[in-house]
Chain A
Amino acid sequence: MRYRVTHSTHYRYAARVTSCYNLANVVPRDTKRQRCISSRIVVSPQPAVSRSRTDYFGNQAYHFEIQKAHKELVITAESEIHISDRDLDLNLDFGISYGQALHHLRNNRSQQTLEAREYLLDSPMIAASEELAAYAQPSFIPDRSLKSCVADLTSRIFHDFAYDPAFSTIATPLTEVLAHKRGVCQDFAHLQIGCLRAVGIPAKYVSGYIETLPPPGEEKMVGADATHAWVSYFCPDEGWLEFDPTNDTSASSQHIVTAFGRDYIDVTPIKGVIFGGGEAPVLSVSVNVERIED
């Protein structure tokens, strides 16, 4: 499968910005399943300096510095991605059990396992807690296959929590998401990561895009797609596997990964510092995911 993703971010400022320094995570990285064939970032106004690099997590980081006074900033990333159609083995009943997985994580000294343990720890936006562990616990039965435990947790989050864009801000603490049982994909991803870590399973945050299909008989609207977030967890016998709690599914060939991190903070699409700009910049984001080859 081949996609073209256009991700455009537009800031409008109340006052002139004299200079800014930014870091963008808007170009999809390569993963086991996907390859970024080409990508292009256009920034307006023209940056004084810009550079792409691969960061700590293996993501594509794009740095730019603008020294021209401006009241609007537009960052547009256009990428072509190839994704393997072969869906992952979804037979949930096979594979290592939860109990074995915990044992493995404690005792196995393989490089992969040691490195995966980084994702057991608290991260800037996710602190494991007793509440999270208590919520996750019913899904995690030692004899049950780990995959099926995680699938069960994914389903429960999907059913127990309401998708509500009005409820959430970036800063919504997990305890509130848990208490009010609502949020958006980012909250659900954080929630599931917190749950997994709380029961001893390493988990990562995945930022990316999902291809949406128009209602039958309607044209798809350009720019109506969105950035998305889901979860990757470490399964000792199979490596990192992705689940999408917002859609109650494992990641499919319609999930395009931009970046992996411990949580949202590590993969923020655009961050930076501006000089000037006044109060309350207005932000609009548009995303277009276009399938260009089946």
Chain B
Amino acid sequence: MSQSQSPSIGQPTVPAASDTLEYSPQPGLLDETRAADGSVKPGWQYLLQSVGDLGPEVMRQREHKARRILRDDGATYNLYGKPGSPSTSWELDTVPYVIDSEDWAGIEAGLVERSELFNLILRDLYGPRDIIRHGALPPEALFGHGGFLRACQGLQMPGEQELILHAVDIVRRADGSVCVLSDRTQAPSGSGYVLENRTVMSRVFPSLYRDSHVHRIASFYHRLRLKLISLSPSGDIPRIALLTPGARNESYFEHAYLANYMGFPMVQSGDLVVRNGFLWMKSLEGLKRVDVLLRRVDDESCDPVELRADSQMGVPGLLEVVRTGRLVIANPLGSGVLENPALLKYLPAISMLLLGREPRLDSVQTYWAGDHRDLAFINDNIRSLIIKNTWRGSNEPSVFAGDLDETQLQALLARIHRYRHQFVAQEKLAKSYTPAFNGSGLEPRPTLLRTFSVATDNSYTVLPGGLTRIGTSLDGQFISMQEGSPSKDTWVTASEPERAPVPGLAPEKRHFSGESALDSPPSRVVENLYWMGRYAERADASMRLLRTVFVMLNGEDPISADAQRILLQTVSEITYTLPGFTTATAAQLADPEAELMQIVRDGERVGSVRSTINSMLLAADESKELLSTDTIRVINDVRDALDNLDGDLAGGLASAPEEALDPLVTALAGLSGLTQESMIRGMGWHFIEMGKRIERAQQTIATVKGLMGTVSGEMEQSTLLTALLTSMEVLITYRRRGREKRGIELGLELVLLDSRNPRSLLFQLERLQEHLVELPRPGKESGELNAESRALLEASTLVKLSTLPQLLQVADQRRPELEARMTQLADLLREFSRLITDKHFDHRSGPQQLFTSFGGTAPGVLNAGLPGAGERG
């Protein structure tokens, strides 16, 4: 349920007249900046003073800078159910949430204790279940919870702690203490965003950050890494990978960010395979054993054999590998059971049983409908309560029952009564307020802090600070990333500068195996780089020809109908938007605007510039972890240019549409330059380059065939040759060399045979040969050339043996030799591409269930285990 939204940060309202910023708390609300006596808390004095002195204008500039850094880093948070715009930029309010270290020490101690307690609960629930057997937790609260995975009974990992990462959402109460709203124990998200927020803030406010003596957070991530290394099942240095559901996941940005920061490859389930009782990652160099997985996939989806059978995100057989101790997964499978809010009600009793004392941190008052008295309370007070399904996997959103109409309320009550064990109710907790910059002034916003604990040798370490999220307005009480709530950096400030980081945790110290994680990315990532290269080049070639066509259509000298037809048909051919102009009537050819505009901007049409670039962006998302920061920035430039395309094209054909394409062409050129200049010459580079070369060769072939295959009048010939040379960027060279040879002959030589021209066909084939010899060659070496080498050799021989006069022979107004040769080359390159991708990428078809839990397959399968006839006399 979303609340009414006020203007969000960054949409400046009327600028304040003064050039300083004042913050006044809202009377009657609990404000983080104020002590009980109304004075400004010591930790906030310096901050509010500094921000105040900066004034609104400077704050706006800083905010702008912050946004630019976030955007350059590709910081996004994907919102569900918003097709079309899959990612939303990460929102950061530039006023940090300050907690002084004395205050923090109390919170931290409570959080450490809570993580220890939750660890004991986890071990107990999948072990002896004393808390059930001794009556500290009603059986239904556990056994009726979807996160309790019976298949995980008895799983163990090295060390005392099973719960590796624990996130806790807390709010401040009027007496200054904090209260826990919820726990995240499945695959807690947010710690990557914390790192990004900190990086941005320390760059945007360098002196304020330095002078505030903010506790550093880097050691948290290093401790996490050390912990994961210590989990190695074999005791050797393990290969650790981060398991992500994929680019569509809401926090995919942070998965890639954390994986890169910690030096782990990022994998999806399709990159992994269980073989001979171990887990392996598919890389171009073959299978690489994986020992530890940092998991961002929900546990129930992880193994279709034993957990959810319909999961597409799992690895068949994974759980058994964990069970036999050959793989450790953090957080362990089954840990989602701790996210059950019904636990909060029984936490004091559970803590008495397991720790011998009540926990220091209070949890929000929770009513569990499985308890008769609580159910009665819920009945009587439902309008003032928030109703939650106890299992997040149910995907049932929490609702404030006061927002429901009578029908909805009755339906909800009926569900609660039917599934009593699966519902809790909580009171709406008043939150404390922190100042946020709204573009012109500082205003109070409700505030929620997510903290993070990581298991260390025998206890837990808490990240100093955490991920602060604020409401979108003063009265917006629901704070959720899915509702677009902005975040804040959280500063735990010391009165003195912090000591040097813990020895042994220095970031530069590398712990992983001698081979760099980047040496063998999953083959899926490399495949995506290959397609990224192809799509980028395809978009580039399409736009170059389109620009040329736009210029010619609008040119001073009108071009002939014949030339126009050939040009337009070639556009359809090379963009793969067939039939397009190839079946157009004369009238349609005379008025091509609508179709051309569609070819540029209709994202729904496969082959359009927009659709091709979108495909490229998708492929880039999938291989994000191999892209440098600069590359990600340039990709964002491409995305921005694409977003602006419609506006730039608004004038249609009449208003220089070629210029509208310039930003995109430039951004793509920047991307291409960066791959050349700053990408490690690993497999990723070879494949992105091969993708580019294959595509450019194909585009050149198609363009030559389209523009030169038909012979028309003198004038047309000249127009089409100019178009060819312009779109291939060799017009100037052509003019300079124009002395020795005649027009078309020279043009074709430049475009096809000149190995000094980086856009010529021969140039592409020569580069492809250089890449080909660098690819891994599984299997035995022999004198015999493999199929892809033969295809490539044949293609370049064909080109080299071509003579221009032969190619230019004319019969029946066509150039049959040229057309045949181009067709032959296109086929060879297509074959080459198929051979390369089949050989190096995994195209094994997806798994199917041998036995499906709930129908859908053949009756023969479904009868497994049913009695035969004659059972009952």
Contacts and interface: CB of A to CB of B under 8 A. Distances in A.
Interface in A1-33: 9, 11, 18-23
A265 B853 contact: yes
Interface string A111-147: 1001101101110100000000000000000000000
A210 interface: yes
Interface string B847-873: 111110111111111111111111110
A144 B491 CA distance: 68
B869 A65 contact: no
Interface residues of B, number: 53
Contacts of B866: 165, 168, 170, 184-186, 226-227
Given A65-B276, A185-B867, A270 B851 contact: yes
B150 A274 contact: no
Contacts of B305: 21-23, 271-273
Contacts of B133: 111, 114-115
A44 interface: no
A281 B870 contact: no
Given A56-B153, A117-B140, A285-B864, A21 B870 contact: no
A56 B151 contact: yes
A109 B129 CA distance: 14
A277 interface: yes
A11 B851 CA distance: 11
A219 to B, nearest CB: 15
Given A21-B316, A121-B140, A246-B872, A275 B847 contact: yes
Closest 10 CB pairs of A and B: A171-B855, A21-B317, A226-B867, A280-B858, A226-B868, A273-B316, A49-B277, A118-B143, A56-B153, A271-B851
Given A23-B306, A56-B151, A274-B848, A115 B862 contact: no
Contact of A115 (B132, B853, B857, B868): B132
B847 to A, nearest CB: 4
Contacts of B151: 55-56
17 contacts: A23-B305, A115-B132, A118-B143, A124-B853, A170-B854, A171-B854, A171-B856, A171-B862, A184-B866, A185-B866, A185-B872, A186-B867, A226-B871, A246-B872, A269-B864, A271-B309, A276-B845
Interface string B140-153: 10011000001101
Contact of A268 (B129, B320, B844, B864): B864
B324 interface: yes
Contact of B871 (A67, A169, A212): A212
A56 B150 contact: yes
B438 to A, nearest CB: 49
Contacts of A276: 845
A265 B324 CA distance: 23
A49 B421 CA distance: 40
A86 interface: no
Interface in A153-181: 163, 165, 168-171
Nearest to A223: B868
Contacts of A121: 140, 143-144, 421
Chain B contact residues: helix, strand, loop or mixed = loop
Given A170-B855, A227-B865, A212 B870 contact: yes
Nearest to B304: A273
Interface string B590-633: 00000000000000000000000000000000000000000000
A279 interface: yes
Interface of B: 129, 132-133, 135, 138-140, 143-144, 150-151, 153, 274-277, 304-306, 309, 316-317, 320, 323-324, 421, 844-845, 847-851, 853-872
B854 A48 contact: no
A63 B861 contact: no
Contact of A273 (B129, B421, B848, B867): B848
B863 A283 contact: yes
A84 to B, nearest CB: 24
A22 to B, nearest CB: 6
A22 B855 contact: no
Nearest to A228: B867
B864 A9 contact: yes
A220 B853 CA distance: 33
A120 B417 CA distance: 16
Nearest to B152: A56
Nearest to A221: B870
A273 B849 contact: yes
B153 A165 contact: no
A38 interface: no
